[in-house]
Homo-oligomer: A and B are copies of this chain.
Amino acid sequence: MKTVNVNLALHSYPIHIGPGVLGRADLMRPHLRGQHIMVVTNEIVAPLYLERVVSTLSGFDVHTKILADGESQKNLDVLNSIFDGLLAVPCDRQTTLMALGGGVVGDITGFAAACYLRGVSYAQLPTTLLAQVDSSVGGKTAVNHRLGKNLIGAFHQPSFVIADTDVLNTLSEREFAAGLAEVIKYGLIQDRDFFQWLQCNIDRLLHRDEPTLVHAIERCCINKASVVAQDEREVTGTRAVLNFGHTFGHAIETRLGYGKWLHGEAVSAGMMMAAHLSNRLQWLEQEELRAIEDLLSRAGLPTKPPSEISVQDFLQFMSVDKKIQSGKLRLVLLRGLGNAVVTEDYPPALLHATLAADSRPK
């Protein structure tokens, strides 16, 4: 087992990574204050791992809430149904919520914890690769609005994260690959060594070799923790680099309707679009561009957005991005591989050319 600590001003917390950690009551108990625990999960994950978690928590009053599957569940109505469940008990302020699932379950459960009785504790028990390396760490919680992803939410840090690598074995190839998009992201934005390690180890990762997986997840969490520690609430802009590829990616997801493309797939295409724009700006070499495209392809990820999305679609759906300031769309771009910057300083014509190049069938 590896442990990464997220060190924040007011609250630090551990991420435990390794096989079997979902069964480790000793890792959970120190963080549980009251008697009530509400495990929120979904219909896919519940038959696989809910029983294991409930038995790990023997001695507590464990309640469960099983959501339907999918990004479309991340809305205010489903959020309210979690409150219904908490109030039916009723669960008090010492209650801990536990998010057992992927990014959707983690985001909505974290937001429920942020708002219930004006804030209770929660833990992340991520069951997808994407959630283990990204969404479960850093305290961003949210639900979607029909006009865009994650527009309604809160910064609310978990009290601990348990990333059990055993559970990754039940992921489909497609979902596993989607998680690799966020893994590769850390290499691109700030860890060139890790990018090179990924070039060498991508096949072992795709075979879900356990020590390779544990190392990759640990490295991602160390990277994410360092960014979050510098800018917990995205005030200085440092944290925005974690959104590399996401502004384009969110537009793809919103335009297609949630669920057509997985989040990681949209981010993969979005990262390539950001890389292309960086290349047009002459910030990124042609060779680096090819290396990125090659690694994403080897991981089984898309490197172009769906051809039916027009330039106008992109501009419309990108206009609600949270990073917009005074009407200017800030983008995360690469000044070389391993060095992401947040900038408004690009000619709109080059953005337009990038969108146009990618939004026509080739």
A residues touching B (Cβ–Cβ < 8 Å)? 34-35, 76-77, 79-80, 83-84, 87, 90, 92-94, 114-119, 140, 142, 145, 147-148, 150-155, 233-234, 319-320, 322-327
Given B116, B151, B155, B319, which contacts A116 in the complex, CB threshold below 8 Å? Answer: B151
Note all chain B residues with C-beta closer than 8 A to A325.
34, 92-94
Note all chain B residues with C-beta closer than 8 A to A140.
118
Check B322 against A154 for contact (C-beta < 8 Å).
no
Check B87 against A76 for contact (C-beta < 8 Å).
no
**Shortest Cβ distance from A229 into chain B, in angstroms?**
17
Check A319 against B151 for contact (C-beta < 8 Å).
no
CA distance A151 to B117 in the complex (A): 5
Note all chain B residues with C-beta closer than 8 A to A80.
76, 145
CA distance A322 to B154 in the complex (A): 20
CA distance A259 to B14 in the complex (A): 46
**Shortest Cβ distance from A185 into chain B, in angstroms?**
20
Check B326 against A34 for contact (C-beta < 8 Å).
yes
Check B326 against A93 for contact (C-beta < 8 Å).
no
Check B152 against A326 for contact (C-beta < 8 Å).
no
Check B35 against A154 for contact (C-beta < 8 Å).
no
Given contacts A35-B326, A320-B90, contact A118 B147 (CB under 8 A): no
Interface centre among A35, A94, A118, A147 (most CB of B within 10 A): A118
Check A93 against B322 for contact (C-beta < 8 Å).
yes
Check B92 against A147 for contact (C-beta < 8 Å).
no
Given contacts A94-B326, A325-B92, A326-B34, contact A152 B83 (CB under 8 A): yes
**Shortest Cβ distance from A225 into chain B, in angstroms?**
19
Check B92 against A324 for contact (C-beta < 8 Å).
yes
Q: List 16 contacting pairs A-B, 8 Å CB cutoff, sorted by A.
A: A76-B77, A76-B80, A83-B145, A87-B148, A87-B151, A90-B147, A90-B324, A92-B327, A93-B323, A93-B325, A94-B326, A114-B154, A118-B154, A118-B155, A118-B233, A119-B155
CB-based nearest B residue for A75: B80
Interface centre among A84, A117, A147 (most CB of B within 10 A): A117
CA distance A253 to B227 in the complex (A): 46
Check A92 against B152 for contact (C-beta < 8 Å).
no
CB-based nearest B residue for A112: B152
CA distance A79 to B115 in the complex (A): 13
Interface centre among A76, A94, A115 (most CB of B within 10 A): A115
**Shortest Cβ distance from A290 into chain B, in angstroms?**
36
CA distance A84 to B145 in the complex (A): 8
Given contacts A118-B142, A119-B233, contact A151 B324 (CB under 8 A): no
Note all chain B residues with C-beta closer than 8 A to A148.
87
Q: A83-B152, A114-B154, A118-B233 are in contact. List 7 more A-B contacts (CB 8 A).
A: A84-B145, A87-B320, A93-B323, A94-B326, A115-B153, A116-B152, A119-B154
Note all chain B residues with C-beta closer than 8 A to A117.
151, 322
CA distance A15 to B82 in the complex (A): 36
CA distance A323 to B155 in the complex (A): 23
Note all chain B residues with C-beta closer than 8 A to A233.
118-119
Note all chain B residues with C-beta closer than 8 A to A327.
92
**Shortest Cβ distance from A341 into chain B, in angstroms?**
19
